[in-house]
Amino acid sequence: MKDKDQKEKVKEQEDEKSGGVAGDVLLGLGKIIPGLGGIVEGLGKSDAFQQRLDAINKEVERQLSEAPLKKVGQKEARRTTIPPSTPFRGGKAQSRAEDPPLKKQKDIITDIFDEGDYIKVIAELPGVAEQDIKTEVKGNLLTISARGISREYSKELILPCPIKEALNSSYNNGILQLKAEKILKGGGPK
């Protein structure tokens, strides 16, 4: 019991010399970043700086004391302030099997061309299979939507004139080309 108390006193004295956890961090950074070591040593003589280090050290101790116990082995337990989903050593956080990957809604880059009797629409849909692309025509409103593995696309286009619902389409290397016959105001195609 006496050895334990003595070790704690020695540790406290070392912490006071170095400025505790916060002081150790600053001293370590001072060794890594040229010029910072001298600044930290100079600030170490300031009472206001020491008070700030003490406040930081007390906050670190408070957070550690309030952190939940984590069982390490059968007998050991330690406190941790690191959330369980935080990745370690540059690895990726493991997602649970039931969580589907997040899909990002993206706008579709499109170009519309008036080619006399036809309207031609070119749309960029990278990373999507042709069978996952859906198009819908209502008058002069064309809706394109697609769902890929990691993203979703959606866009509504107002065309310069109404078109027939039958679209001639081709898809190659992420580029969708649609060609549709115009409907003239008289009711039929030109």
What CATH code is carried by the domain that includes residue 163?
2.60.40.790
Residue of 168, 165, 96, 114 whose CA lies nearest to 137: 165
Q: Determine, yes or no, domain membership for 187.
A: no
Let me know whether 136 and 67 are in one domain: no
User: Domain count of the chain?
Assistant: 2
Distance CA 177, CA 110 (A): 10
Let me know whether 55 and 110 are in one domain: no
Let me know whether 109 and 43 are in one domain: no
Q: Determine, yes or no, domain membership for 96.
A: no
Let me know whether 13 and 71 are in one domain: yes
For position 190, what pLDDT does the model report? 47
Distance CA 152, CA 166 (A): 24
- Tens of each residue's pLDDT in the chain, 190 residues: 566 666 666 555 554 555 677 777 777 777 788 777 778 777 777 788 788 878 888 887 887 777 766 665 555 555 555 555 555 555 455 554 554 554 566 778 899 998 888 999 999 988 888 899 999 988 888 898 888 777 888 889 888 888 888 889 999 988 999 998 988 765 444 4
User: Contact, 94 vs 88, CB < 8 A?
Assistant: no
Q: Determine, yes or no, domain membership for 188.
A: no
Backbone angles phi, psi at 7, to 5 degrees: -65, -40
Q: Determine, yes or no, domain membership for 88.
A: no
Both structure tokens of 144 = 């394109």
Distance CA 172, CA 53 (A): 62
State the amino acid at position 175 in one-letter form.
I
Which residue in this structure is represented by tokens 């390490």? Answer: 72
Q: Determine, yes or no, domain membership for 95.
A: no
Structural domain for 37, as ranges: 2-79
Let me know whether 8 and 63 are in one domain: yes
Q: Determine, yes or no, domain membership for 92.
A: no
For position 125, what pLDDT does the model report? 87
Distance CA 181, CA 190 (A): 9
Distance CA 141, CA 121 (A): 12
